[in-house]
Amino acid sequence: MTRFAISFDSPVGRLAIAEEADAIVAIGWGAHPDGEPTPLLCEARRQLAAYFGGGIRRFDLPLAPPGSPFERRVWTAMQAIPYGETRRYGELAMELGSAPRAIGRACGRNPIPIVIPCHRVLARGGIGGYSGGAGLATKRALLALEAASPPSRELVGTCEPRWVGGSMPQV
């Protein structure tokens, strides 16, 4: 199968988005060789820019995260956590009939962070872990973004977002 990818700068670092078979399969941090930006990759970039700009609270993208059936159940449960809210590993474990550590492992293996919001899952005694970007600093920035209404931003263009006005916590 052909895999396409683009990368771009975001308020939480350089992000790369990968598409395979007309679905998003990965979002990661760092520079990746850019390919031809497909319509889906441009839409994913546009939605991420709108999310960081406070324009959307829910993503509408076809997703196909590679993982075990259990991991996919956990990732589906994470997508049900509303914007601005959090759940504990133990709460998701009870909901799915599992253990908190298994939920934590599935969170750490989430191949599509931000869109599948593993940053909204916290430990019983604190923030928990985060494997993306700058780790806990990235998780805190995403939680802070969702906790307050950020300044309004305009999205300029369809595949080349620019930030206009205001500021998002940088990591």
159 in catalytic set: no
Q: Convert 30-79 into a string of H (helix), E (strand) and C (coil).
A: CCCCCCCCCHHHHHHHHHHHHHHCCCCCCCCCCECCCCCHHHHHHHHHHH
With 0-12 CB in 10 A as exposed, 13-18 as middle and 19+ as buried, what is 125?
exposed
User: How far is Cα 94 from Cα 57, in angstroms, rounded to an integer?
Assistant: 26
User: How far is Cα 118 from Cα 21, in angstroms, rounded to an integer?
Assistant: 24
Question: What is the edge-to-edge ordering of all strands in the sheet holding 3-10?
Answer: 3-10, 13-20, 23-29
Catalytic residue among 42, 107, 118, 159: 118
Mind telling me the catalytic residues? 118
